[in-house]
Structure 1
């Protein structure tokens, strides 16, 4: 059995590879990466695979039984890139593709969801067994700003009091590994989200509690939040995306209470307090 992971040098991919090595022999794991030099420390077989270069993909997928297709980071190019991988997987005889989609992809208002919907549809029509891991928001998407919030004296955003059911990358990696190393997941869709929802005011309160400082949450209009992110060096297009996703969160786009994630991984998801503590180290 060969299990391959795309984007294996990314933040999620590295976690998946490391966790896979604790569950199956390392020689059964294949890391698919754009730049093999960056994967030298993974301790598994490394193959060059570029989403945008179809010629690399057929060779990279030879002999692979299960494939974790971690969605591309190139927003706007994802649907085409994922198509390249799915087509190469079909030609290589891959038996099962597990795909990291987005929470409630079929109904989500997030601008990110369109490309995920396209990939989900293609997988369903591919003739290959598939599993959809509809990942919710990474807690790190918000805790990555904890240092800046402490330095600036406030946590800013545009999510108002929207409930956010995020989970850590480690939680999502554990879910992927659970599906990759057990049976009975073909054709299933999992809505993956944290057990306990929180709001950005809740997050600011937790930062305040752990630092002993008063760090309030300051809600901004979308345009103002995007401008603030741009002023911190976030590329303008991405800044507008982040702000719009916050606005969607205000309307419930990042909330889910199905607890599919904790059931898959066999433990509660990582508490917000733990994630904040890690960000403050």
Structure 2
């Protein structure tokens, strides 16, 4: 069984390859792809086939999928501009007759319709369903690593500021989510499933400030902002009005509960507890400082 992973030059895709190997995959059965294969040349040295795959160049997708049985489509990185590329991969997977397509979506993609990041993911899920491909949807909640910059700023300011209100986030680490993808790609019985994946514990921003305090060895205070105050602060920091509204919109979605869902599906899939907020932040800050 040959498994192809897209976007392996990114943090998550690389971790999926690592997880597949740790779970016993034969390197010769893996195809690691990226737009620039020089960024994953070390994997070729480990016996893994590497190939160019650019979502916006269909000819590269068709070539990479030759002889492939299962595919992990890692969502593109540009919100609002990734659906066409996703469709290209889906179409190529249909043409290649792959037996399973896994896609990294976002938490509650079908119901959190006012969440700024949902539209591309929901449209991709719908395109996969319409294609008739045997598929599994991995709806990943937030990455704990997303908060590395917040901790770094808190080291200087002593503040974690947000307009999330009492909203909670069921984050897990990239490695936790990558491990779940490996389980699905190597196992059977996952086709047709939609997995809502999140950390075992949904935490508040007060808890984020407390975790930052412990990690940094200094007091970190949580500052609550209104959405208007948040937008104004972001614009004062140099963001344009559209980007500031987008970022504040993410906090607003968290405030309304878009990322708080957790039912233990992720830990059940990977067979262990998910990484705690404190441990995840500690590891992320250490990597950023290296």
- The normalised TM-score by structure 2 is 0.92
Aligned to 1:6: 6
CA shift, 1:226, in A, is 4.0
What's 1:276 paired with?
A: 281
| Residue equivalent to 1:39 | 40
Q: In the alignment, which residue of structure 2 is the partner of 1:60?
A: 64
1:115 aligns with: 120
Q: 1:65 to 1:280 in 2, by over 3 A?
A: closer
Does structure 2 retain, via aligned residues, the 8 Å contact 1:144–1:279? no
C-alpha distance in 2, partners of 1:141/1:234? Answer: 18
Q: How many angstroms does 1:209 deviate by?
A: 2.7
Task: Please state if 1:192 is matched with 2:228.
Answer: no
User: Equivalent residues in 2 for 1:1-281 (5 A)?
Assistant: 1-22=1-22, 23-42=24-43, 43=46, 44-108=48-112, 109-229=114-234, 237-281=242-286
2:3/2:68 contact within 8 Å kept: yes
Question: 1:143, CA displacement in angstroms?
Answer: 3.1
Separation (CA, whole Å) in 2 of partners of 1:100 and 1:263: 18
Output the CA distance in 2 between the equivalents of 1:128 and 1:168.
29
Judged with a 3 Å threshold, the aligned counterparts in structure 2 of structure 1 residues 265 and 48 are, in CA distance, closer, same or farther, namely same
Moved more, 176-185 or 40-49: 40-49
Moved more, 188-197 or 39-48: 39-48
The change in CA–CA distance for 1:56 and 1:266 in structure 2 (over 3 A counts) is same
Q: Distance in 1 between matches of 2:145 and 2:285?
A: 12
Q: Structure 2, unaligned stretches of length 5 or more? A: none
**3-state DSSP class of the match of 1:184?**
coil
* TM superposition shift of 1:208: 1.4
Contact 2:144 2:281 in 1 (8 A): no
Q: Which moved more, 1:226-235 or 1:170-179?
A: 226-235
Quote the offset at 1:172 in angstroms. 0.3
Aligned length: 281
Give 1:238 deviation, angstroms.
4.2
- Structure 1 residues without counterparts, runs of 5 or longer: none
Distance 1:64 1:175 in 2: 20
TM-score, normalization by structure 1: 0.95
Moved more, 215-224 or 96-105: 215-224
Q: What is the alpha-carbon root mean square deviation over aligned residues?
A: 1.7
